[in-house]
């Protein structure tokens, strides 16, 4: 298999990698770039644990080929905090115990941030529909929805 040399921007920094044609962006992030925040839950687009944004759109990185990312801008959970300062979503998720094992959490945080960028004041129902592709097997969704609401209110007030 012919390897691809791919140039992208990840969390604002130039990033280059080599990948095989059948390698997914998720595999590239985790195995080649050491960005292990995005998780593989299912590998088939069902669970959302691998969520990242690609050119500003929320995607499952398990359903993107690494080779497709040429020239793209990618944002992952690793770029969410500003140094040691957590993003309000991250901080509220911890404060309000909106996670247990944490496997779904990076995907949910990335997805929730992309919702709040589009809609800073969502209803509970809008949050539930937006996050329908992010499965959590521990927490139950109520705490997650509440945490997103609290972080959204905080972000609106600054």
Report whether 1 contacts 22 (CB < 8 A): yes
Closest approach of Cβ 68 to other proteins, in Å?
Answer: 6
**Residue 6 in the binding site for other proteins (CB under 8 A):** no
Phi (first) and psi of residue 42, to 5 degrees: -120, -35
**Residue 51 in the binding site for other proteins (CB under 8 A):** yes
How far is residue 95's CA from residue 89's CA, in Å, rounded to a whole number? 10
**Residue 45 in the binding site for ligand FES (CB under 6 A):** yes
Give the burial class of 99: count Cβ atoms within 10 A of its Cβ; 0-12 exposed, 13-18 middle, 19 or more buried.
buried
**Site residues for ligand FES per CB under 6 A:** 40-43, 45-50, 60, 62, 99-105, 136-139
**Site residues for other proteins per CB under 8 A:** 1-2, 4, 21-22, 24, 43-46, 48, 51, 54, 57-60, 62-65, 67-68, 70, 111, 114-115, 129-134
């Amino acid at each position: 298999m012919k390897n691809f040399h791919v140039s992208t921007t990840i969390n604002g920094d130039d990033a280059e990698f080599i990948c095989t044609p059948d390698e997914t962006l998720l595999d590239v992030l985790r195995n080649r770039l050491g960005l292990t925040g995005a998780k593989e839950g299912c590998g088939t687009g069902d669970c959302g644990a691998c969520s990242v944004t690609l050119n500003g759109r929320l995607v499952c990185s398990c359903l993107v080929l690494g080779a497709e990312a040429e020239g793209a801008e990618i944002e992952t959970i690793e770029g969410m905090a500003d140094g040691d300062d957590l993003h309000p979503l991250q901080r509220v998720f911890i404060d309000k115990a909106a996670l247990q094992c944490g496997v779904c959490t990076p995907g949910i945080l990335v997805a929730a941030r992309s919702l709040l960028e589009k809609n800073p004041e969502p209803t509970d129902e809008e949050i539930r529909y937006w996050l329908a592709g992010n499965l959590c097997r521990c927490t139950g969704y109520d705490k997650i929805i509440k945490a997103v609401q609290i972080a959204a209110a905080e972000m609106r007030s600054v």
